[in-house]
Amino acid sequence: MLEQKNHCRNEDGFVLVASLLILLILVIIGIAATNNSIIELQIAGNEKVHKQTFYQADGGADLASRVTFENSLCINMGGFAANPAGLNGGREISQLEVLDLDFAAPTGATAAPLPSDAVRDVVFYPGNRSDNTPHTNMTVVGRTDWGEGTEIGQVMGYEGGPGPGGSGFVYYSINSQHRGAVNSESVIELGWKISSYLIDSASSYDCNFD
């Protein structure tokens, strides 16, 4: 008598199939975890570059205020004097390149233009003096105005200016743009002021770069 087997209910090979399915699931989980780790590393890298670029731009704004102070004391002497090491007839001061020698002279403008490699008064090169490497561009404009509470007249109809030591100021708008690694870019805007009396009374002895 022949024995008939029901192949539809034969469970031979079930363990192998189940193992393959489990292995496939583990592979999918591993790929997903790897992709997630790569994305997290990319995000962390981008955040690091962004922070570095931001802090460099912030430092550039502080540096710009200092060089603006020095330049303002040289306005009566025509600004900084060019030196042979300066680019395009400018003035080299350590790692700074001053392209506009009297940029601190008030023009009446209230907002400095956005800095770029084509529009800049000062540029800072932390390494090589090349625009193909990370660097900081700075633009500066100034306007003269009376300080708060300034008395410009003593009697009705008086049309003169304030007396000696008047409290007028030159208000500067400073923009600092850092161009960093992988085409990163950050711009910081800073407002700064200096006494007009200090500028007007400055002599060649006060100008450190004439």
**For 42-65, how does the pLDDT look when each residue is reduced to its tens digit (9 = 90+)?**
777 788 888 999 999 999 999 999
Give the mean pLDDT of the chain.
Answer: 84
**For 123-153, how does the pLDDT look when each residue is reduced to its tens digit (9 = 90+)?**
999 988 889 999 999 999 999 998 665 555 5
Residue 143: count other Cβ atoms within 10 Å of its Cβ: 16
How sure is the predictor about 158, in pLDDT bands with cuts at 50, 70 and 90? very low
Instruction: Give domain status of residue 93, yes or no.
Output: yes
Instruction: Give domain status of residue 17, yes or no.
Output: no
Instruction: Give domain status of residue 186, yes or no.
Output: yes
Taking CA atoms, 149 is separated from 108, 142, 145, 153, 162, in Å, by: 21, 20, 12, 12, 12
Could you give the number of structural domains in the chain?
1
Q: Minimum mean pLDDT among 11-15, 66-70, 151-155, 194-198: which range?
A: 151-155
In the chain, what percentage of residues exceed pLDDT 90?
50
Instruction: Read off the pLDDT of each residue in 92-117 and give the average, rounded to a whole number.
Output: 94
Q: Which amino acid is at 205?
A: Y
Instruction: Give domain status of residue 82, yes or no.
Output: yes
Instruction: Give domain status of residue 14, yes or no.
Output: no
Residue 40: count other Cβ atoms within 10 Å of its Cβ: 10
Count Cβ neighbours within 10 Å for each residue of 102-128 and write b for 16 or more, e otherwise.
ebbbbeeeeebeebeeeebbbbbbeee
Instruction: Give domain status of residue 20, yes or no.
Output: no
pLDDT greater than 50 at residue 80:
yes
How sure is the predictor about 87, in pLDDT bands with cuts at 50, 70 and 90? confident
Instruction: Give domain status of residue 120, yes or no.
Output: yes
Instruction: Give domain status of residue 74, yes or no.
Output: yes
Residue 193: burial class (beta carbons within 10 Å; 0-12, 13-18, 19+): middle
| Listed ranges 6-15, 109-118, 143-152; the one with the highest mean pLDDT | 109-118
Instruction: Read off the pLDDT of each residue in 172-188 and give the average, rounded to a whole number.
Output: 94
**For 89-101, how does the pLDDT look when each residue is reduced to its tens digit (9 = 90+)?**
889 998 999 999 9
Range of the domain at 131: 36-148+165-200
